[in-house]
Amino acid sequence: MDLFSGILLGILMAIGWLIGVVLVRFITTLIHELGHAIPSLMFTDKEVAIHIGSYGDSEKSLKMNFGRLKAFFKLDILRWNIGQCQHALVKNFSHHFIIILGGPLFSLLIGIFSLLFLLSGDWSDGMVFIFACLILSSVFDFFVNITPYNFPIQMANGTTTYNDGTQLLNLIKEKKYPPEYFQGLNLIQSKKYAEAAPYFKKAIDNGYDKKDIRLYLVNSYYKSNQLDHAIQQINILQEKGHLKTDDYNLLGELMAKKGEHSKAIQFYNKYLLKNHTHWSVLQLRGYSYLQLSEYEQAVHDFNSAIIFNPKTAEGYNNRGLAKIRLGYLDEAFEDLQKSKSLDDGDAFLYLYLGYYYQKKNDDKSAFDNFQKAKEMKIDFHGIDYLIETTREM
């Protein structure tokens, strides 16, 4: 074999081993998520979805249906080792415990079975390599997922969750909570936030003054627009030293909803120092800059949000408005059209398109878009004025 052939063979072997490692990681990730999905199918009567290669992003994924089980495979070489299982709310403690534990348990079992197969026969070097990879990958998955850690995992929709170990610990702590806590949770699941707040308050007053219960109380007040009560509870958490860096995004949202965008930005800054890739918080900070007329800063944040999540219609939409304010009309229109291609159901998209056509002195197109925004019941007090000022006389 000449030198060139030897080098080519070495390259092909290296590529083959790399593909093998990626394939093994894909298999062990799939098995881990099935460990969550199978008990979810047993204990609920709703659909269960597993995502391999993403944290819940179903777009541009290969979708496969197996009855109530929906599987989404996203072929992203940089994210092939991540996954998520989505299932309906489970109220029974033991069922919920088994669902969470199922993932790490399946990872451990595939490692044990791979080891037994490896020891049971005389395998070729290639098969030994595959078994070794399966063992290492599955054991790695087990320990990474079963060991509790408080670093949040960002989902595709911008929300955060935690690894299996942390979820198990939280579930065990919740078992000791009073009935009022679970009544509050059920109301939150039904989006009855104003009704949920008194239950969390009662649980706290009855001696269960826990951080997570107060945070649910804050969330209930926030979602029911009782902002002063929400901030009062946040202040109590701060006085007790319970607030961590990962809680500051909630403070930022509260301040922004009160219209105090400078304070909101300060809290978003603290959160993003640790979680600088969290696209939804970058987007929120950009919106606050937008409200303060700091358009260059807003564009910078929307740029970052779009880099970390190219499918954020809201990011393109808000960046379009910022560029309208800066006078970059052609770029603004491109952003608004991109936003429309991702989600044409946002009333603010048509408000901003109206602004764009106003700047282009096209009152008819501006009127049509303002009118459409109103028909979509946009929450914007100046929409009637904009319609009247662009209406043809």
Domain count, the chain: 1
Mean pLDDT over 5-34 rounds to 74
185 in any annotated domain: no
Other C-beta atoms closer than 10 Å to the C-beta of 388 total: 10
Chain segment 158-201, per-residue pLDDT in tens: 677 889 999 999 899 888 899 999 899 889 888 899 999 999 99
In the predicted structure, residue 47 carries a pLDDT above the cut 80: yes
Chain segment 333-391, per-residue pLDDT in tens: 999 999 999 999 999 999 999 999 999 999 999 999 999 999 999 988 899 999 999 98
Chain segment 205-255, per-residue pLDDT in tens: 998 998 889 999 999 999 999 999 998 998 898 888 888 887 888 889 999
Percentage, residues of the chain above pLDDT 90: 56
89 in any annotated domain: yes
The band of 78, judged by pLDDT with boundaries at 50, 70 and 90, is: low
Please give the full DSSP string across 270-309, using - where no structure is assigned: HHHHH-TT-HHHHHHHHHHHHHTT-HHHHHHHHHHHHHH-
142 in any annotated domain: yes
Place of tokens 């078994």: 131
In the predicted structure, residue 8 carries a pLDDT above the cut 70: no
Name the nearest CA neighbour of 319 among 335, 308, 305, 333. Answer: 335
In the prediction, which pLDDT does 319 show?
Answer: 97
294 in any annotated domain: no
281 in any annotated domain: no
Looking at the DSSP bridge assignments, the partners of residue 49 are 70, 86
In the prediction, which pLDDT does 89 show?
Answer: 80
Chain segment 109-153, per-residue pLDDT in tens: 999 999 998 888 788 877 888 888 889 889 999 999 999 987 777
189 in any annotated domain: no
pTM: 0.73
Looking at the DSSP bridge assignments, the partners of residue 70 are 49, 65
Distance of CA 224 to the CA centre of its chain: 22
31 in any annotated domain: yes
b/e sequence 97-127, b meaning 16+ C-beta within 10 Å: bbbbbbbbbbbbebbeebbeebeeeeeeeee
> Could you give the C-alpha distances from 258 to 123, 227, 288, 377, in angstroms and in order?
67, 7, 11, 22
359 in any annotated domain: no
Q: Which domain holds residue 88?
A: 3-168
In the prediction, which pLDDT does 20 show?
Answer: 65
> Could you give the C-alpha distances from 363 to 17, 317, 355, in angstroms and in order?
62, 21, 10
Chain segment 279-317, per-residue pLDDT in tens: 999 999 999 999 999 999 999 999 999 999 888 899 999
Residues 6+ apart with CB under 8 A from 311: 57, 59, 342
